Amino acid sequence: MDSVLKVDLKENSYNIIFEKSFDSLARRLAEIGAPKKLLVVTDTNVGRLYGGEITELLTAAGYDAAAPVFEAGEKSKGMDTILGICGACLEHKMDRKSMIIALGGGVVGDMAGFAAAIFMRGIRFVQIPTTLLSQSDSSVGGKTGIDFGGSKNILGAFHQPKLVYINVVTLRTLPEREFISGMGEVIKHGIIRDGNFFDYLENNADKIKSLDDDTLMYMARVNCAIKAAVVSEDEQETGLRAILNFGHTVGHAVESAADFALTHGACVGIGMCAAARIAQRRDMLSAEAEKRIKRVLELYGFDTSVRDIAEEQIYEHMGRDKKSSGGRLKFVLPAGIGEVRIFDDVTRAEIEDAVRSVICGGRNK
The count of C-alpha atoms lying within 13 angstroms of the C-alpha of 223, restricted to the half-sphere facing its C-beta, is 29
Q: Which domains does the chain have, with CATH numbers?
A: 4-173 (3.40.50.1970), 176-359 (1.20.1090.10)
Catalytic positions are 121, 143, 185, 227, 237, 241, 245, 248, 252, 264
pLDDT of residue 361: 46
Q: What is the rounded distance in angstroms from the CA atom of residue 74 to the CA atom of residue 154?
A: 14
Task: Report the C-alpha gap between 334 and 331 in whole angstroms.
Answer: 10
Considering only CA atoms, which of 275, 295, 294 is closest in space to residue 335?
A: 275
318-357 residue pLDDT tens: 987 766 666 689 999 999 999 999 999 999 999 999 999 9
| Spans in the chain with pLDDT lower than 50 | 361-365
Tell me the C-alpha to C-alpha distance, in Å, between residue 211 and each of 45, 183, 233: 20, 12, 32
Q: Is 71 helix (H, G, I), strand (E, B) or coil?
A: coil
pLDDT of 328 = 83
Q: What is the reported pTM? A: 0.90
